[in-house]
């Protein structure tokens, strides 16, 4: 009888621990999804993104893109510099292509390839940390005195991710990612980023919600290399599925 009672108590403790763990995981995923929404995961958004790369001893470089995004699909067309005007990047269903007027057909490229400065092609797209990454640890932290949840995220097998591992600091109060550290699969830090949310969009409840306005990326390998991505105010609009059709990319 005592053995049965002991087993029953242990089973109850185990069930409570598992339930608590499941609840914690659900909360983590919900927070990551909220942070993803503030990074461009919308039904349709159009904006201009300026990318300014500065490196010690080199001339500052500036690129501008007209970006159309729906969910995690992105079409970016180069506006500046003039010699690259008309070049396009398309990201659809995790795959990415590059096209320009003198190419006969789009060329597959990687999200990890350099866009400009320390920014990668994938940095133009919305984050999908809630689905593409597995949180191996969630701890408490802060950025500039703001309480955060710190997610240690590892890319899920088979997913096309820009980074192998991301340590993401998400504001508890604002539910947005405010800092990130990016690592290789071997654990080497390659860059860090800080995010600003001066733009707003209508949230699920109709009230203004913070939306990405800037990202400053600092290269952890090349000293004094900084890349700023500045996002214009987003224009929400319906985007047709053909917008992200690779077969229509050269039109």
| DSSP count for the chain of H helices, then E strands | 2, 18
CATH of 37-248, one of 3.10.20.600, 2.50.20.10, 1.10.8.10, 3.40.50.2000: 2.50.20.10
Q: What is the pLDDT of residues 125-147, one digit of tens each?
A: 889 999 999 998 899 999 999 99
As a whole number of angstroms, the distance between CA 50 and CA 23 comes to 40
Q: Is-above-0.75 flag for pTM?
A: yes
Reference 169, options 204, 138, 197, 191; nearest CA is 138
Using the predicted structure, report yes or no on whether residue 113 has a pLDDT greater than 90: yes
Q: Is the pLDDT at 8 greater than 70, yes or no?
A: no
pLDDT, average across residues 144-162: 94
> Given its phi and psi angles, is residue 71 left (phi above 0), alpha (psi -120 to 50 degrees) or beta?
left
Is the C-alpha dihedral spanning 26, 27, 32, 34 positive or negative?
A: positive
Q: In sequence order, what DSSP letters do the residues of 133-195 get, joined into one string?
A: EEEEEEEEEEETTEEEEEEEEEEPTT---S-SEEEEEEETTT-SEEEEEEE-TTS-EEEEEEE
Residue 60: predicted pLDDT: 85
Question: CB-based burial of residue 7 (10 Å sphere; 0-12 exposed, 13-18 middle, 19+ buried)?
Answer: exposed
With 90 as the cut, is the pLDDT of residue 2 above it? no
Instruction: Give the residue, 224 or 4, on which the prediction is more confident.
Output: 224
**How confident is the model over 68-85, as pLDDT tens digits?**
999 889 999 999 999 999
The number of CA neighbours under 13 Å toward the Cβ of 43 is 7
């Amino acid at each position: 009888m005592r053995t049965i009672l002991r087993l029953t108590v242990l089973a109850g403790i185990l069930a409570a621990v598992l339930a608590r763990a499941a609840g914690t995981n659900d909360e983590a995923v919900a927070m990551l999804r909220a942070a993803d929404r503030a990074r461009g995961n919308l039904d349709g958004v159009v904006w201009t993104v300026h990318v300014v790369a500065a490196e010690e001893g080199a001339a500052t470089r500036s690129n501008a893109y007209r970006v159309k995004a729906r969910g995690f699909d992105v079409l970016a067309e180069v506006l500046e510099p003039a010699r690259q005007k008309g070049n396009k990047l398309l990201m659809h269903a995790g795959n990415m292509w590059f096209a320009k007027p003198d190419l006969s057909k789009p060329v597959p490229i990687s999200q990890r390839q350099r866009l400009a400065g320390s920014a990668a092609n994938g940095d133009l797209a919305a984050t999908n940390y809630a689905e593409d990454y597995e949180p191996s640890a969630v701890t408490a932290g802060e950025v500039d005195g703001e309480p955060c949840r710190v997610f240690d995220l590892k890319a899920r097998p088979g997913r096309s991710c820009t980074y192998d591992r991301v340590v993401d600091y998400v504001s508890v109060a604002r539910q947005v990612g405010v800092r990130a550290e990016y690592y290789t699969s071997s654990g080497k830090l390659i860059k860090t980023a800080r995010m600003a949310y001066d733009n707003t969009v209508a949230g699920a409840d109709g009230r203004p919600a913070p939306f990405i306005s800037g990202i400053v990326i600092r290269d952890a390998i090349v000293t004094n290399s900084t890349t700023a991505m500045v996002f214009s105010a987003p224009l929400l609009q319906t985007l047709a599925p053909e917008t992200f059709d690779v077969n229509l990319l050269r039109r």
